[in-house]
Amino acid sequence: MKKIAVITSGGDSPGMNAAIRAAVRVALAQGVEVWGIRNGYAGMIADDMIRLDSRSVGDIIQKGGTFLGTARSEEFKTLTGRQKAAENLHSRGIEGLIVTGGDGSLTGAKLLSELGIKFVGLPGTIDNDIWGTDFTIGFDTAVNTALDAINKLRDTASSHGRVILVEVMGRHCGWIALTAGLAGGAEIILVPEEPFNQEDISKKLLESRAKGKQYSIIVVAEGAGSALELGQYIRANSGLETRVSVLGHIQRGGAPTAFDRLLASRLAETAVRALMAGKTDIMIGFRNNQCVEVPIADAVGKKKEIDPELYRLADVLSK
């Protein structure tokens, strides 16, 4: 393979730049020409691509977001859109792709490969919801961002003796909530994977007050429900003074942690080597501190469940 392209797609995540940098430099070291596709699959359809050299990816390892840009493309979901995208790659002589993104982006790559484009995927999303990898690129940074917010909210919650609910991202999955909540010492963690009822939460809060707890932090995964609505319910039903903080897209930005930079660099190197070896339709995952090849059909269309042991521990430690 003489020419490949790198692309980031779907929601951005901290560490995507580190992945692009590593993919480009590993490919260049093997004498391969590298192109960057701008703004995800939308840019592939629009033929918006730039040639990348080693300098093009300098000074980006420490930056959040993706310097190539990203998008969620509706047109790429159609066969006509994908045919246009594949034609653009073929006409430039691009034979393979390194795709960094979440479930939708990797599913898109799988469909594109049916049109003759080889690819290796990297799991890039803050949600950590991709099957076949212990961690996704960006998750650790997002957890640390949420944790920083929880630490700060704890200061003010304790000063005022309030209940503070903090809503975190994660789409349909509770990994960010569980991990940040456990690390932040939250009293209650609500995730979509574990059913709960509002009345029990109010009761639990009143019981913990009776036991001497002066304030409470509740971490709510966005997929578990609205923290604003739950906050209103708690205030009305328990009489406790309640405030709500929805963290939103702040969790998607910021300098990637050392963990995310290393993860991205290691996964990207393995991905380029696999592509060069003629492999396709795989994702490089990270399991037990090793980069592993995961057939793409196994990785997409499934949700990685939260770790029940972590959930149990969070519950024990919240007493």
Residues 216-235 that bind ligand F6P (CB under 6 A): 222
Q: From the CB of 2, what's the least distance to ligand F6P, in Å?
A: 34
State how far Cα 319 lies from the chain centre.
Answer: 30
For residue 13, the one-letter residue type is: S
Q: From the CB of 7, what's the least distance to ligand F6P, in Å?
A: 17
- On whether the CB atoms of residues 216 and 157 are closer than 8 A, the answer is yes
285 near ligand F6P, rule: CB under 6 A:
no
Q: How many Cβ atoms from other residues are within 10 Å of residue 155's Cβ?
A: 9
123 near ligand F6P, rule: CB under 6 A:
no
Nearer to ligand F6P, 57 or 176 (CB): 176
Which of 4, 11, 96, 143 touches ligand F6P by CB under 6 A?
Answer: 11
Phi, then psi, of 144 in degrees rounded to 5? -70, -35
129 is catalytic: no
Phi, then psi, of 98 in degrees rounded to 5? -110, 115
Which 3-state string (H, E, C) describes 234-280?
HHHHHCCCEEEEECHHHHHCCCCCHHHHHHHHHHHHHHHHHHHCCCC
DSSP code for 216: E
State how far Cα 144 lies from the chain centre.
Answer: 13
Residues 248-277 that bind ligand F6P (CB under 6 A): 252
Q: From the CB of 203, what's the least distance to ligand F6P, in Å?
A: 30
125 near ligand F6P, rule: CB under 6 A:
yes
Q: From the CB of 232, what's the least distance to ligand F6P, in Å?
A: 22
Nearer to ligand F6P, 170 or 181 (CB): 170
Q: Computed from CA positions of residues 249, 255, 258, 261, in that sequence, does the dihedral angle turn out positive or negative?
A: positive
**Annotated active-site residue in 12, 127, 129, 140:** 127
Which helix H or strand E contains 224, and what residues bound it? none
Site string for ligand F6P, 144-183 (x = CB under 6 A): -------------------------xxx------------
127 near ligand F6P, rule: CB under 6 A:
yes
